Structure 1
Amino acid sequence: MMRSNRCASSLSSGSTPSLAGNVKDFGIYMELYRASVQGNWKAANRFFRTHKEAIKAPLNHNSETVLHVVARSGTASFAEKLVNSKMFPDEALHLRAKDYDLTPLHLAAQYGNVGVAEILVRKKHTLLYDMDADGLYPIHYAACNTGNAKDVFRFFFGVTKANEDRQPNPYEGPAGAAILVNLIRSKFYDMALELVGQHHDVTHHAALNMGVPPLDAIVKYDCPIINTANFSFWKRSIYYCISKNSASTQNFVSQLLLWKSIPKKILMHQQATDLLKCLCDELKTLNDYNQVFSLASDALLRAVHLDIAEVVLSIVEAYPTMAYCSDHNDLNILHIAIENRCENIFNLIRGTSVLVHNLQDTINGNGNDIMNLAAKLAPQHKLNLVSGAALQMQRELQWFKEVQKIALPYFSSCMDEYGKTPEMHFTENHRLLKIEGEKWMKDTATSCTIAAALIVTVVFAAAITVPGGNSDANGLPIFSSHNAFTVFAISNAASLFTAATSLLVFLSVLTSRYAEQDFLYALPNRLIIGLITLFFSIILMMTAFSSTIYLVFGQNKSWIRIIVPALASLPITSFVLLQFPLLVALVSSTYGPGIFSQRGIPQMLI
């Protein structure tokens, strides 16, 4: 069996085969092996008549018997005839493969063959309590997401009883925790909730051979599901409708959806959230802080790193003192949130005055306070959430300013052992990002300057050479009495003025001093003004051009009135599709509500 198929992530390298005999030439059993894989009972039975020892003999180098092969391939009819045949000895049910001491029931559970599993359990119920080399029961393998493993787990969960007469309890201690962790890894949340509801002890230990507590597993393996920050606006709206309303409303919303995967993801999130609540509720029943710390600290710190506020809030609500735990670098949750730019956790903490007061004045073992951590460059994956180096620099400045608001006043001017203040560290750490931001700004401004200059040239020439020319009698434009000419004159002039404004604004971007603080407001403001005026100049230029075409060619041709505006909308649409997202990002990051708020943890918990 492949190592990657194991349920546990940490496996023992040694195992002791329990099959008798040492058959080196497995070629004589190739016919039987082939019949077992194909589920051909007639061929296998014919082979047994001439080779009686083959019914429990090893068929390959891994010492797998016929029953092992059938348990993996999943032919239930073959398995039933095999175990009920007169030639089949009961001890063959317990024979083990060489790798990890797996019984046939272990393999049936791992490969999701519920039919074979039912036959084996019906034949001998105690097979449920055979352990492999790592102390894992068949139910551990049934909790793995392979094939129809969920159906097998439902079957095992119904027939494997805790405290059964003289049998080991698979739901007790680290072994029980391993079942729950495997269910979480397989995203079998409904079964995990049922398991926790019936066997509370599974939440009080780290998983056997993995060392991962269930609470940590739900963060480690399922962070994209548990984190609502990953949901888009419309997904969050659907989630609110489905999770907060009645069953009839949930069904109605689900039926309206064209994408069936969306309700499934939302349902999985709801089940994962319910499981998280159950696990945290179990923490309330424990009085030993060391035990709580061993079960919840990794989950809490991992959730802070991943910016999953739901997990942090649930753990702190269950056990308030966990809010003050630190990692191996002596960083508390506020330090981690600032260093890794986790805005959800930062907002959660800064909205709680007691917690901010207790965490913000702490200095870690490396002598870093919160201002020094804010002065560091954000992790690359956080920078990549913002498009463009200039906006990344703006986001970093916003973080530094926001942390400065909650820091003790002397933190901002306090020098380290090298005589540097946090602002000096910020400048040093962001030197390359500032250079990249300057280049990005200049490249964007240069491209837009070319477009604005072309528009100015075109509309200025159009203002001199009006459509239709001028009258020889009085020198006035020939079409001056038409309403369309008035539209042309106004839109052409407005296009000239807005394009000239855009050109001047972009030139100011090119000639800016590019000081560090300019990336916060000055440069984004100029880029916003330049893009908006360029957008309007394009619209007005197309309007002026359409009016000219109508005056010269289209007064008696209705089809021109349709085609020309339609074609004129192409450059406008192109600008919206290509540049409007940048404009939205600039406006949102500069004038929008931003990423900072004050959600807070209920004060009575801290």
Structure 2
Amino acid sequence: MTKDDVALVDGNGSTALHTAAICGNTEAAKLLVEKNPDLANMEDNTKNLPIHYASIIGRRSMVLYLLDLTNKEIQPKLLEDESGAILINGLIASNQFDIVILLIKRYPALACIQSSPALDRIALKRSAFPSGAHFNFWQSLIYSYVPPRLEDSAYQSSEGDIENPVNSAVSFRAYLKQKLHQIFWKLTQMLVPQMKKIQEKKREHHQARQLLELLCKEVVKLDYSKAKEIFHSSVLIAAKVGIPEVIEETFAVFPDVINATNSKGDHIFRIAILNRHVNIFNLIYQLNREVRHLILAIPDLSDKSCLDLVACLKDEQSVNLRAGAAGAALQMQRELQWYKEVEKFSLDYHKDNRDLEREVPRKEFSKTHEKLVKEGEEWMKDTANSCTIVAALIVTIAFAAAITVPGGNNGNNGHPIFSNDKVFLIFSLSDALALYSSTSSLLVFLSILTSRYGEEDFLEVLPNRLIIGLVTLFVSIISMMIAFGATVYLVFGDKKPWIFVPIAVLSCIPATLFVSSQFPLLLDMIKSTYGKGLFYQQNDRILY
């Protein structure tokens, strides 16, 4: 084929290199460029270069290859507003943050495109920051210790030379420590494959934070009015999506974002309340005490206060809240916590009637949360009913086991035959504990079933009862399995110690099943009821 043959276009104006970029076929792209180097500079009917499609779809190797082909003729096209925005935003959308960092360092103007700012795009990437990650306990533990890169796993000392043996020894020890850390993490990745994914996610978060800092440094160099437009837009987006990192970094370089409002007059904290983003609202505690009360007291253009916003639960918000794994009851508890927290910052004027056409916020709260209360009641009753059946069965089994002890009774004095055996003491104590704890659990769940289910009950009363009921039910299951294991050993064990091993292993199965199914709910309830709560100062960084 000739140079002109490979430059043929289809009905959309796309060349074969456009198709190769979309498919990520780097080998085909190399063959095409060898035949016609101008292909990398050819646009289709939508003014997109091959590198634009590769960036949008996330073809990393293709993007790197096409960037290497960037020459003086193509640079102006990449720096044009529309073209540059497509390239940068496509790379951010596909999580290629390291490439964006390199591009912006090479072409700083790409960070300040007014038509489609890169800050707006990264403010939409909630998954690119730690606040948007959803890790369980073990994943969070690994995340806190794993290095973003293996080469970052130990301190790299640049000190030490041949003429200074002390520094040379320090450098060698640091180098040896680094290699040992690398070996340790590589072995851990082989044993725990999921750890590699967590490390990649941490590296992604690290790169996103670096990119965010770089973008803020470049945008703040603009004229005040242009910088204000970009920063205000990005923090409003971040507040709606729920990314506190973007807002914190923006505050650090441009404190005026505290005055950013949308077309309805809502600032970032009002948007956080409306969307129930706790991590955004908690930034209020990093403001000066007088400022935080002032900004939360300012109404919007329709004279609605923050208390009016938190009192209202829209249908789409209700759907999102009920999507939680903990059930509608816990969501109702969190709604009450939201209302009481915002109420602390509200003026008395906002708590009462301001005109005849508007409900008092507390009445509006009851009205809009009526459906959620009903769903919380149904969820509580379903959970209590299920647990009541299990607790009743354990009560029956434990009581029957106490009457018909293993081995039977002595015909002369009526004492149990195995009463002098140490294992029988274990049986007696565990069976008694199973009976008492299951009875307590049964009574607690019955109190849940007979509760009046008022709004305020979902704040502490019902969660407390559910926590006590689940804990005592778990204790009764464990105690019942121990009592059963002791019985098997006394009756069938024939005094052989190895019998304890299969008994212990099999006894762990029902306990593990119960914990795996109910522990997430129990943990959420305990955190929400007895923990530090939803609202607190997340770090010591002062914003304003």
In 1: Cα distance, 2:36 partner to 2:68 partner: 10
Letter aligned with residue 316 of structure 1? F
Name 1:34's counterpart in structure 2.
Answer: none
The answer on 1:294 being equivalent to 2:209 is no
1:444 aligns with 2:444: no
Cα distance in 2 for residues equivalent to 1:558 and 1:241: 48
Asked whether 1:183 is paired with 2:91, we answer: yes
Q: Indicate how the Cα distance of structure 1 residues 244 and 365 shifts in structure 2: closer, same or farther if over 3 A, else same.
A: farther
SS of the residue corresponding to residue 262 of structure 2 reads coil
Kept in 2, the 8 Å contact 1:309–1:344? The answer is: yes
Give how far 1:345 is off.
0.8
Amino acid at match of 2:87: I
Partner of 1:278: 214
Equivalent residue, structure 2, for 1:257: 189
Deviation at 1:261, TM superposition (A): 3.6
Residue of structure 2 equivalent to 1:485: 424
Alignment of 1:371-450 (within 5 A): 371-377=307-313, 378-415=317-354, 417-450=356-389
User: Could you tell me which residue of structure 1 aligns to residue 123 of structure 2?
Assistant: 219
> How much has 1:448 moved relative to structure 2?
1.5
Deviation of 1:305 (Å): 1.3
Counterpart position of 1:154: 67
Once the two structures are TM-superposed, the CA of residue 469 in structure 1 deviates from its matched residue by: 3.2
Supply the AA of the counterpart residue of 2:107: H
Q: How far off its partner does 1:409 sit?
A: 3.9
Matched residue of 2:79: which SS?
coil
Amino acid at match of 1:156: L
Partner of 2:30: 115
Shift of 1:411: 2.6
Among 328, 338, 343, the residue aligned to 2:263: 328
Q: Which runs of 5+ in 2 are unaligned?
A: 157-177
How has the CA–CA distance of structure 1 residues 549 and 268 changed in structure 2, closer, same or farther, with 3 Å as cutoff? closer
How many angstroms apart in 1 are the aligned matches of 2:22 and 2:203? 26
1:237 is aligned, of 130, 135, 144, to 144
How far residue 340 of structure 1 moved from its aligned partner, in angstroms, is: 0.6
Query: What is residue 267 of structure 1 aligned with on the other side?
Result: 203
Q: Distance in 1 between matches of 2:502 and 2:14?
A: 75
Normalized per residue, which structure has more helix? 2
Amino acid at match of 1:399: W
Could you give the per-residue CA deviations for residues 187-233 of structure 1, whole angstroms, max 9, x where no partner exists? Answer: 33233212211222222224xxxx4221112233x331234441521
Change (3 A) 1:356 1:239: farther
Match of 1:195 among 85, 89, 103: 103
List aligned pairs for 1:41-52, cutoff 5 A: none
CA distance in 1, matches of 2:415, 2:93: 81
Once the two structures are TM-superposed, the CA of residue 97 in structure 1 deviates from its matched residue by 4.7
Cα deviation per residue 1:431-476 (whole Å; 9 max; x = unaligned)? Answer: 1111111111111111222222222222223323333333333333
SS at match of 2:68: helix
Change (3 A) 1:175 1:475: closer
Quote how far apart the aligned CAs of 1:516 are.
0.8
Match of residue 591 from structure 1: 530
Distance 1:108 1:563 in 2: 60
Gaps of 5+ in 1: 1-77, 163-167
TM-score calculated relative to the size of structure 1? 0.75
CA change 1:360–1:527 in 2 (3 A) is same
Instruction: Tell me, in whole angstroms, the C-alpha distance in 1 between the residues paired with 2:40 and 2:416.
Output: 98
Determine the C-alpha separation between the residues in 2 that align with 1:498 and 1:423: 39
Q: Is the 2:147–2:199 Cα contact (8 Å) retained in structure 1?
A: no
Confirm or deny that 1:541 pairs with 2:454: no
Q: Higher relative contact order at CA 8 Å, sep ≥6: structure 1 or structure 2?
A: 2
Which amino acid in structure 2 is aligned with residue 192 of structure 1? V
CA contact (8 A) 1:349 1:601 kept: no
C-alpha separation between the residues in 1 aligned to 2:528 and 2:460? 10
What does residue 244 of structure 2 align with?
A: 309
| TM-superposition CA deviations, 1:531-574 (whole Å, max 9, x none) | 21222222222223333333333344556444444433333333
| Structure 1 counterpart of 2:461, one-letter code | A
In percent, how many aligned pairs have the same letter?
37
Separation in 2, partners of 1:261, 1:159: 39
Looking at CA atoms only, which structure, 1 or 2, has the larger radius of gyration? 1
Question: Residue 69 of structure 2: SS of its match in structure 1?
Answer: helix
d(CA) in 2 for partners of 1:482 and 1:186? Answer: 68
Q: Which amino acid aligns with 1:508?
A: S
Q: Render the CA deviation track for 1:400-448: whole Å, top value 9, x for unaligned.
A: 1222222234433345543522111111111111111111111111122
Q: 8 Å contact 1:114–1:151 — kept in the other structure?
A: no
Give yes or no for contact 2:6–2:32 (8 Å, CA) kept in 1. no
Q: Could you say if the C-alpha distance between residues 133 and 470 of structure 1 is closer, same or farther in structure 2, counting changes exceeding 3 Å?
A: closer
